[in-house]
């Protein structure tokens, strides 16, 4: 198995063990353009769920400070959307990682 295929695939699979750090390091250190491209795509896909996660944290803090006795609808909706985004991103990274190993 080629090193670039393994590195490219590990960039996608790193969502389980290294987050966005591994693809970032591969993107900076690799000299192969195809590996760099996969590292950049996986880095972006690893960073996407951080945006709704920030909104959930803000929603939780806002609900705790302002609405202590009401049902936190915004927080519940934000948490559900964030969970769905995380699930989609993990599935996407698994599919892309397997495709890179199989097809290239």
Confidence of residue 77 (pLDDT cuts 50, 70, 90): confident
pLDDT digits (tens, 9 = 90+) for 3-47: 888 888 989 999 888 878 999 998 999 888 888 999 999 999 998
86 falls in which pLDDT band (50, 70, 90)?
A: very high
Task: Give dist(CA 86, CA 84) in Å, integer.
Answer: 5
Residue 104 pLDDT:
53
Q: How far is CA 24 from CA 5, 6, 48, in A?
A: 16, 16, 14
Residue 88 confidence (pLDDT): 95
* Side-chain half-sphere CA neighbours of 22 within 13 A: 18
- Per-residue pLDDT for 82 more than 70? yes
Angle (CA) 46 17 92, round 5°: 40
- pLDDT confidence of residue 51: 86
Burial class (CB in 10 A: 0-12, 13-18, 19+), 74: middle
- For the chain, the domain total comes to 1
User: CA–CA separation, 27 vs 23, rounded Å?
Assistant: 6
Q: Could you read off the pLDDT of 47-75 as tens digits, one per residue?
A: 898 888 888 888 788 777 777 666 677 77
Domain coverage including residue 61: 3-103
| Confidence category of residue 84, pLDDT binned at 50, 70, 90 | very high
């Amino acid at each position: 198995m080629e090193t670039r295929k393994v590195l490219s695939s590990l960039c996608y699979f790193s969502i389980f063990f290294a987050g966005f750090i591994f693809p970032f390091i591969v993107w900076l250190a690799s000299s192969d353009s195809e590996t760099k491209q996969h590292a950049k795509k996986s880095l972006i896909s690893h960073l996407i769920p951080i945006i709704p996660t920030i909104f959930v944290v803000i929603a939780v803090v806002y609900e705790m400070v302002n609405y202590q006795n009401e049902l936190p609808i915004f927080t519940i909706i934000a948490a559900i959307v964030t969970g769905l985004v995380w699930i989609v991103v993990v599935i996407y990274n698994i599919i892309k990682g397997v495709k890179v190993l199989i097809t290239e």
